[in-house]
Structure 1
Amino acid sequence: MAKIHVSATVNGEPVEFLCDASASMLDVLRGPLGLTGTKEGCGSGDCGACSITLDGRLVCACLMLAAEAEGREIGTIEGMAQGDHLHPLQQKFLEMAALQCGICTPGVLMAARALLEKNPDPTEEEVRFGLAGNLCRCTGYDKIVRAVLETAAEMRRAA
């Protein structure tokens, strides 16, 4: 099978890779690009563990063909921190123990960031709705929701 050449931007950096026509973006991120922070939970787009951004829009990497990345901007959990400084959401998740085994956490953080970029002052209901596509088998979501709400409040105060 012939390989497809793809040029994209991942976490602000230009990348090029070769992939099979049927390769998912998740396969390429975790394989040739070596970005293993994005996790596979279900492989069918039901759990949100593989959530990334495509041109700023939240998508499931397991459902996206890697060839679709041509000329596009991809954001992954590895691009969330700025150098040695964690994103405020990452810091708050650590402070509030809003994570457990870690499989869902990258996807939840990506979804929370996408939510706060669209809505910097969400209600609890809006946070729960915004994270509804991310399943976690280890927690009851309360710490996650509270961490997102507290981050939103802190980011508004800092702005």
Structure 2
Amino acid sequence: MRVIKFQLNGREVETDAPPTARLIDVLRDEFAYIGSKEGCGDGECGACSVFVNTLVQNSCLIPVGAIEGAEIMTIDGFSQTELFQMISECYSEAGAVQCGFCIPGMVMASAALLSKNPHPTEEEIREGISGNLCRCTGYNMIVDAIDLAAKKGEGLW
């Protein structure tokens, strides 16, 4: 059996999961990182979003064999950062959280967007979260939260 090694939330880990196993399953079942949610299993909703080498990816679409040597950051790891705390506070302040199911992916998409574009327009924010579905809150409050994070996060990006 082939061992696959990668960085997970800042530490080196390895798995002997089959290379075709989905990353979301390995993260949740083997490493107990349950912050990333499986919503659709088809890469449509974004609830399973993780950073793979700093790029937002849907972990339900990634075979674990494809991440050999990669740096993976889940919402569980990201939640330990100052950036997460600031974004989270903005989501709360804007009333952008209801059931919370989409929020891990939305927060990851928000951070990715703001790290590339610290002063996005409303249109750019909507485009930046376009791969994420929210069934409760609606997007206006999420867009407001990201706009607030952009304003409050001066110097963090």
- Per the normalisation by structure 1, the TM-score is 0.92
Mapping 1:51-90, distance limit 5 Å? 51-82=49-80, 86-90=84-88
Partner residue, 2:95: 97
Once residues 84 and 133 of structure 1 are traced to their aligned partners in structure 2, the CA distance between those partners, rounded to angstroms, is 24
What are the ranges of 5 or more consecutive residues in structure 2 without an aligned counterpart?
Answer: none
Determine helix, strand or coil for the equivalent of 1:156: coil
Mapping 1:43-54, distance limit 5 Å? 43-54=41-52
Deviations 1:104-155 (A, max 9, x none): 1100000110000110110111000000100011122111110101111111
More off after superposition, 95-104 vs 68-77? 95-104
Partner residue, 1:117: 115
Partner residue, 2:14: 16
Once residues 157 and 64 of structure 1 are traced to their aligned partners in structure 2, the CA distance between those partners, rounded to angstroms, is 33
Shift of 1:15: 1.2
Q: What is the root-mean-square deviation of aligned Cα atoms in Å?
A: 1.8
Deviations 1:57-116 (A, max 9, x none): 111000000111110001110122336995211121122221111111100000110000
Does the C-alpha gap of structure 1 residues 84 and 149 become closer, same or farther in structure 2, counting only changes over 3 Å?
closer
Partner residue, 2:135: 137
What are the ranges of 5 or more consecutive residues in structure 1 without an aligned counterpart?
Answer: none
Partner residue, 2:36: 38
Q: State whether residues 4 and 67 of structure 1, in contact with CA within 8 Å, keep that contact through their aligned partners in structure 2.
A: no
More off after superposition, 83-92 vs 46-55? 83-92
Once residues 60 and 39 of structure 1 are traced to their aligned partners in structure 2, the CA distance between those partners, rounded to angstroms, is 10
Shift of 1:45: 0.4
Once residues 101 and 64 of structure 2 are traced to their aligned partners in structure 1, the CA distance between those partners, rounded to angstroms, is 22
Partner residue, 1:25: 23
Once residues 118 and 14 of structure 1 are traced to their aligned partners in structure 2, the CA distance between those partners, rounded to angstroms, is 26
Once residues 49 and 28 of structure 1 are traced to their aligned partners in structure 2, the CA distance between those partners, rounded to angstroms, is 16
Q: State whether residues 56 and 112 of structure 2, in contact with CA within 8 Å, keep that contact through their aligned partners in structure 1.
A: yes
Residue identity in the other structure for 2:60: C
Q: State whether residues 102 and 132 of structure 2, in contact with CA within 8 Å, keep that contact through their aligned partners in structure 1.
A: yes
Residue identity in the other structure for 1:20: P
